[in-house]
């Protein structure tokens, strides 16, 4: 097994402090009018850490951030790491009750949030949920008005003292690789969100490997569309940038026009994101009006990337490196394509295991299956999680005694070790005794010239047990019928894979990170079958 990238730092705090010595005068962060060097960024983080100390935060206490990508998010995250606290990011799409659940389960003592984001006041939503949060003592408003019972961002930073800053320095020096660093909660697309507890050492492995994978360096300017509450935005985003000395440019909400403008105006070189981000840029009629020549690195990942999308990225945009990868909240990036892989490989696989990871495909009995046979993906080593928060049963179900993580994802590995994702184990359905994998069917559908996006679920069928139902977003101007697509499918895939029902939709329900919410689609179908609203 190839060794994982050696972490030269004992903790995230040590990485942050080293950034001042390595990149102190270089531009670290650009957010509208805010421009900070690494020296200035780390000093602000130290001030935030000092304010946490004054507020009563002790090493190991949890600090939550429920806010959009911004300079304040970065400062708060780096500051709490330096103060020895544990980061708990909260999904910006969560409602008050969902956020309260995360705060209660993590026992967070401080919350950094906003009162004005897309017309939403997060503090009001939280209070309207009516959940008693006995551990939460401080709410800091990073953007928007600081309502009664909260601290404004500037007032909170001002409460730090010299003695508290010295305590931050002491705590930073005391942190080690096995100390807990963050608790990221799973997306909840496959059930009750679980808190993934990670350590400083494992988190640093994610950041360091992403730097190696992309060639990220201090000359890069990194437009951060992936949300910071997600593993990608935090570890392959903020921490990877600090590791390499790259300039961070957070983006609160994806808008193709804004992205094009920032790429041209700021000389962006690194632009990761879900396939929908690149599709939006490629299809934007304003694209040719912007100078995009600085773009160097594209990184994406999904089970259903159209080959044509990767071809267009390669031919129509100036990226010299296009990477597709596979990762989980529990692991970070576990597999990725390589720089010399061809377009077909980049689009149809997620590459091979990253250094430090072992990968196996097993059947329902846990036995390894031959190349090309679908089974559950198991991972070991690398940055596999420590455990699930306060859930030893779920931890034992996911982690074997010898360290293998059951991902719940289904895939195949070819003889060269390249991994293809065919779906979630819970998404698989059985058609007349044959296993049908939604991601495989979706990939086939995306080859149809009229289809832009597709999501497939299994629905009950009296004769076959289950059959496929496809939700399809068509390309502008296309008007295929259900019969057209079913007929086309019969000529391009095995009969048991052919969707029996096709529904045309304007858009698919997605998480903030671009995953299709299959449970929402299933609920929609179930409501109709029960006579409920469509």
Structure confidence by residue, pLDDT tens digits, 261-272: 999 999 999 999
Half-sphere exposure of 355 (CA within 13 A, CB side): 16
Global pTM reads 0.86
Q: How far apart, in Å, are the Cα atoms of 353 and each of 268, 297, 357, 372, 504?
A: 28, 20, 6, 16, 36
Listed residue (86, 82, 78) closest to 60, CA to CA: 86
Asked if 254-424 and 430-529 have one fold, the answer is: no
- Flag whether pLDDT at 512 surpasses 80: no
Place of tokens 């409602």: 95
Domain positions in the chain are 12-22+36-194, 254-424, 430-529
The closest of 424, 450, 428 to 502, measured between CA atoms, is: 450
* 400 φ/ψ angles, rounded to the nearest 5 degrees: -80, 165
Tell me the backbone φ, ψ of residue 17, rounded to 5 degrees.
-65, -40
| pLDDT digit string, tens, across residues 485-507 | 999 999 888 888 999 999 999 99
Between 392-396, 400-404, 424-428, 476-480, the lowest mean confidence (pLDDT) is in 424-428
Q: Are 329 and 231 in contact (CB under 8 A)?
A: yes
Closest CA to 446 of 413, 411, 475, 487: 475
Q: Do 446 and 376 contact (CB within 8 A), yes or no?
A: no
Q: What is the pLDDT of residue 430?
A: 84
Q: What is the pLDDT of residues 203-248, one digit of tens each?
A: 999 999 999 999 999 999 999 999 999 999 999 999 999 999 999 9
Mean pLDDT over residues 463-475, rounded?
92
CATH no., domain 430-529: 3.30.300.30
Q: Give me the mean pLDDT over the 12-25 stretch.
A: 96
Q: What pLDDT is stored for residue 1 in this prediction?
A: 38
Q: Looking at mean pLDDT, say which of 1-5, 32-36, 92-96, 525-529 comes out highest.
A: 32-36
Q: Do the Cβ atoms of 95 and 29 come closer than 8 Å?
A: no
pLDDT at residue 32, rounded to an integer: 94
CA–CA gap between residue 310 and residue 88 (Å, rounded): 34
Distances, alpha carbon 308 to alpha carbons 16, 293, 304, 316, 510, in Å: 40, 21, 12, 11, 21
- Edge to edge, the sheet with strand 321-328 lists 297-300, 321-328, 332-336, 352-353
**Confidence (pLDDT) at 530:** 67
- Kindly state the average pLDDT of the residues 97-117: 95
Give residue 368's pLDDT.
Answer: 95
What is the reported pLDDT for 155? 97
Sequential DSSP letters for 163-197: HHHHHHHHHHHH--TTSEEEEEEP-STTSS--EEE
CATH number of 12-22+36-194: 3.40.50.12780
Q: Is the pLDDT of residue 346 over 70?
A: yes
Cα atoms in the Cβ-side hemisphere of radius 13 Å centred on 390: 8
* pLDDT of res. 190: 45
Whole-angstrom distance, CA of residue 422 vs CA of residue 438 = 7
- 366-422 confidence digits (pLDDT tens): 999 999 999 999 999 989 998 999 999 999 999 999 999 999 898 999 999 999 988
- Residue 131 and residue 133: Cα distance in Å, rounded? 6
pLDDT at 151: 98
Q: CATH assignment of 254-424, given 3.40.50.12780, 3.30.870.10, 3.30.530.20, 1.10.20.60?
A: 3.40.50.12780
Residue 68: CB atoms within 10 Å: 20
pLDDT at 435: 77
Position 189 scores a pLDDT of: 44
Give the CA count within 13 Å in the CB-facing half-sphere of 115. 16
Burial 365-377 (b: 16+ CB within 10 A, else e): eeeeeeeeebbbb
Task: Pick the more confident residue, 191 or 446.
Answer: 446
Strand partners, 501: 469
Beta-carbon contacts of residue 504 (< 8 Å; ≥ 6 apart): 472, 473, 474, 482
For residue 30, what pLDDT is reported? 98
Report which of 74, 88, 251, 52 is spatially closest to residue 168, judged by C-alpha positions. Answer: 52
pLDDT for the residue 511: 75
Q: CA of 356: how far to CAs of 31, 198, 217, 333, in Å?
A: 35, 16, 22, 11
pLDDT of residue 185: 92
Q: What are phi and psi of 224, to 5 degrees?
A: -100, 95
Token pair belonging to 80? 């709490």
- Taking the CA atoms of 27, 29, 35 and 40 in sequence, report the sign of the dihedral they define: negative
533 or 469, which is more confident: 469
For the chain, report the end-to-end CA distance as a whole number of angstroms.
51
pLDDT in tens, 148-199: 999 999 999 999 999 999 999 999 999 999 999 999 998 654 457 899 999 9
Q: For 5-9, 72-76, 422-426, 507-511, which range has the lowest pLDDT when averaged over its residues?
A: 5-9
Mean pLDDT estimate for the chain: 92
Output b/e per residue, 446-477; b: 16+ Cβ within 10 A: bebeebbbbbbbbbebeeeebbbbbbbebeee
């Amino acid at each position: 097994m190839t060794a994982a990238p050696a972490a030269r730092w004992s903790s995230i705090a040590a990485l942050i402090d080293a950034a001042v010595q390595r990149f102190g005068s270089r531009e670290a962060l650009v957010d509208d009018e805010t421009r900070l060097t690494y020296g200035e960024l780390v000093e602000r983080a130290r001030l935030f850490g000092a304010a946490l100390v004054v507020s009563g935060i002790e090493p190991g206490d949890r600090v939550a951030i429920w806010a959009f990508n911004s300079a304040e998010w970065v400062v708060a995250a780096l500051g709490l790491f330096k103060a020895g606290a544990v980061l708990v990011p909260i999904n910006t799409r969560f409602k008050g009750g969902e956020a309260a659940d995360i705060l209660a389960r993590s026992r967070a003592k401080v919350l950094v949030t906003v009162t004005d984001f897309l017309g939403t006041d997060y503090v009001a939503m939280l209070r309207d949920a009516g959940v008693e949060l006995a551990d939460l003592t401080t709410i800091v408003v990073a953007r928007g008005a600081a309502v009664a019972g909260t601290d404004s961002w500037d007032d909170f930073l001002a409460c730090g003292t010299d003695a508290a800053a010295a305590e931050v320095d002491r705590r930073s020096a005391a942190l080690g690789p096995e100390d807990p660093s963050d608790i990221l909660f799973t997306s909840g697309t496959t059930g009750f969100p679980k808190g993934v507890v990670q350590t400083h050492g494992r988190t640093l492995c994610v950041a360091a490997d992403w730097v190696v994978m992309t060639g990220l360096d201090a000359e890069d300017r990194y437009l951060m569309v992936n949300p910071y509450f997600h593993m990608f935005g935090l570890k392959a985003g903020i921490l990877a940038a600090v590791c390499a000395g790259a300039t961070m440019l957070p983006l609160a909400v994806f808008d193709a026009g804004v992205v094009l403008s920032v790429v041209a105006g700021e000389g962006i070189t690194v632009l990761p994101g879900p396939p929908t981000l690149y599709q939006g840029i490629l299809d934007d009629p304003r694209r040719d009006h912007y100078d995009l020549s600085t773009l160097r690195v594209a990184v994406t990942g999904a089970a259903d990337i159209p080959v044509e999308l990767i071809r267009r990225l390669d031919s129509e945009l100036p990226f010299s490196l296009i990477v597709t990868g596979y990762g989980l909240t529990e692991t970070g990036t576990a597999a990725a394509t390589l720089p010399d892989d061809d377009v077909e490989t980049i689009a149809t696989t997620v590459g091979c295991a990253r250094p430090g990871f072992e990968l196996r495909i097993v059947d329902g009995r846990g036995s390894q299956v031959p190349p090309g046979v679908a089974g559950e993906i198991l991972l070991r080593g690398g940055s596999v999680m420590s455990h699930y928060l306060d859930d030893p049963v779920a931890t034992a179900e996911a982690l074997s005694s010898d360290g293998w993580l059951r991902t719940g994802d289904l895939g195949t590995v070819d003889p060269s070790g390249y991994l293809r994702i065919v779906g979630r184990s819970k998404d698989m359905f059985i058609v007349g005794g044959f296993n049908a994998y939604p991601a495989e069917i979706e990939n086939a559908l995306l080859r149809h010239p009229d289809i832009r996006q597709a999501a497939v679920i299994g629905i009950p069928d009296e004769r076959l047990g289950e059959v496929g139902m496809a939700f399809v977003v068509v390309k502008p101007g296309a008007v295929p019928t259900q019969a057209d697509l079913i007929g086309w499918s019969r000529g391009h895939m095995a009969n048991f894979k052919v969707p029996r029902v096709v529904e045309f939709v304007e858009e698919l329900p997605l998480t903030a990170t671009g995953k299709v919410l299959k449970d929402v689609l299933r609920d929609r179908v179930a409501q109709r079958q029960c006579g409920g609203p469509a």
